Structure 1
């Protein structure tokens, strides 16, 4: 794999991130320790160095497995990202949320499970609508100054909150969020309304979760393999079926797997993007890694863009209206230029 800079930093990460939410067998599914080790070995052998986990994944088992793996491998080779926010114990009222107390406690617990002295990238996992964003950034900056965290990042948070936070951080001199983790795929493009334009403005890298829409874009639901998905899921509606069928058709044209098409579409978007690909089996990971060798034609990209297009709403669609752009704005600028 090639390497990309993560946001407006000098941190070099591989072009595909390995999601480790499935490391552990709690809840009756996932990869055991040996399989998880084999997945990380295969990823590293392919040049991958960017691991994504969280304090709550598999009740902490994901971090524990990674920590044990790091004990026998070069810790400095890997860029390790974890998250805080969601409740990982019931000892006190502040065992969840974005507040400073929970952040400090959660990071200390993650460091123990990961058996490391530092976390490369710390994500706020999900916005709690309670904690002031300046409290979050000040606390993250303190952790960075202490050497326990290298970079700050944020996940599943409204665009206006992230924008306010990065603006405050730039003004005050705190470390800014360099990455934004959100749901994004051919079936879920609503992040294009506010979140992705905001990320582009601040030079943040987008690290999409569920880039294959929980496996829907592999075509398995079209084949009747519904697994644990609920019948009312949006991933089973007519729009999703049409999008997935287009992915299946293009995969057949290229002689590649459906996942390669869906991931390659994402990697060809006009913003910094590093998809998070999860795996509970080695062959799943190896197949996903092959996407770096796949190239979609302009016609194929257009077909995917057209079938999955969403309404941007106001003001996105308003800006794109031809009459607005040519008559209102164009006329205004023409008058300004004449006066100047």
Structure 2
């Protein structure tokens, strides 16, 4: 379904209007060896906003903080026109146990630093970046609510966390009248569909807009890698180095994902699209997805990716893509969908649900 950047969507259960493709700025800054310098970052941001894009995503330690700093400079004079999202959790001072994590001290200090870097007095959307398995959920939700009440943060969301913890947090927020989570940022692509088991259905049920990150599987779905690139020794556990290193360390570069990339290429060539455009367009077919995050190192890459909004995929195209990338939903989902299970719970009844 063709659309445009200025055909805005509501973010989760909020009234906030955002573009269907959001601009990821992990590529702003060359601290990690593969990003865009200030001038190219400006061209990328200008190209995005000139087409009506308004949703920009960063994090406290992307390119060691340079991403936020560049955005602070580049958004002057148009700050209020943009929805700026950032995240906290990443360790900012190695060796300091409280300079990272999900707890209140980490959150508050990270937000104060982000406000300075972004040269603004409020953050539109603050995410918890990654689950730390140690901080009580009540501490997180109360601290987020305090920041909203102070006006330093307008909306809150969560990224990279177990579905049952997110559901628990949302329930507590609702019961206590705290600010609810309105956004869920997760890895989602033709190469990573396991989130269709619980995370995406949970988000739809509880009012969180889904924002896929790495929709191109660290570049693998663009077709840039071949079997020769599988000899990568697993990559290193870090973002610095090369994009190939990131793909390897993310476990995105595997024999299976290369096979999926081949099918993406086949569908793209048949329809005169690029592989990237097809892979991005596919994510937007999921009704739970509000806005897919696209990153780019050059203005040309960005403009090619934004053209995914013009992609029209046939039923045959979608069937081929989903057959090649299918994952088992596992228990209890597969069990509950068995004919025997449905027969003993519903008999021959036809029940239409309008909830999703």
Q: TM-score range by the shorter chain?
A: over 0.9
Cα shift at 1:272: 3.0
Change (3 A) 1:299 1:281: same
Cα deviation per residue 1:240-282 (whole Å; 9 max; x = unaligned)?
2221111101101110111111111110113133111011100
More helix by share: 1
Change (3 A) 1:324 1:151: same
Cα shift at 1:194: 1.2
SS at match of 2:45: helix
What is the match of residue 22 of structure 1?
27
What is the match of residue 272 of structure 1?
289
Structure 1 runs of 4+ with >3 Å offset: 222-227, 229-238, 331-334
What is the match of residue 37 of structure 1?
42
Determine which structure has greater relative contact order: mean sequence separation of CA pairs < 8 Å that are 6+ residues apart, divided by chain length.
Answer: 2
Cα deviation per residue 1:208-232 (whole Å; 9 max; x = unaligned)?
1100001100111138567634779
What is the match of residue 280 of structure 2?
263
Aligned length: 332
* 1:110 pairs with one of 109, 114, 117: 114
SS at match of 1:273: coil
Q: Does residue 1:323 correspond to 2:350, yes or no? A: no
Cα shift at 1:29: 1.9
Segments of 5+ residues of structure 2 without an aligned counterpart are: 231-242, 351-356
Cα shift at 1:92: 3.7
Alignment partners' CA distance in 1, 2:249 and 2:112: 40
Check the 8 A contact 2:227/2:255 in 1, yes or no: no
Alignment partners' CA distance in 2, 1:53 and 1:173: 28
Q: Does residue 1:205 correspond to 2:221, yes or no? A: no
Cα shift at 1:236: 4.0
Alignment partners' CA distance in 2, 1:203 and 1:312: 22
Check the 8 A contact 1:204/1:272 in 2, yes or no: no
Check the 8 A contact 2:211/2:290 in 1, yes or no: yes
Alignment partners' CA distance in 1, 2:15 and 2:75: 23
Change (3 A) 1:91 1:310: closer
Moved more, 25-34 or 48-57: 25-34
Change (3 A) 1:77 1:156: same
Alignment partners' CA distance in 2, 1:308 and 1:125: 26
TM-score by length of 1: 0.93
What is the match of residue 57 of structure 1?
62
What is the match of residue 10 of structure 2?
5
Cα shift at 1:302: 1.2
Q: Does residue 1:291 correspond to 2:308, yes or no? A: yes
Check the 8 A contact 1:53/1:62 in 2, yes or no: yes
* 1:135 pairs with one of 132, 139, 147: 139
Task: Map 1:209-220; keep pairs closer than 5 Å.
Answer: 209-220=213-224
Q: Cα RMSD between the aligned structures?
A: 1.9
Cα deviation per residue 1:10-31 (whole Å; 9 max; x = unaligned)?
0001110100001111132211
Cα shift at 1:298: 1.1
Segments of 5+ residues of structure 1 without an aligned counterpart are: 335-340
Moved more, 299-308 or 238-247: 238-247
Cα shift at 1:203: 1.9
Alignment partners' CA distance in 1, 2:324 and 2:293: 23
Change (3 A) 1:187 1:91: closer
SS at match of 1:107: helix
What is the match of residue 337 of structure 1?
none
Check the 8 A contact 1:138/1:174 in 2, yes or no: yes
Alignment partners' CA distance in 1, 2:178 and 2:79: 26
Check the 8 A contact 2:10/2:290 in 1, yes or no: no
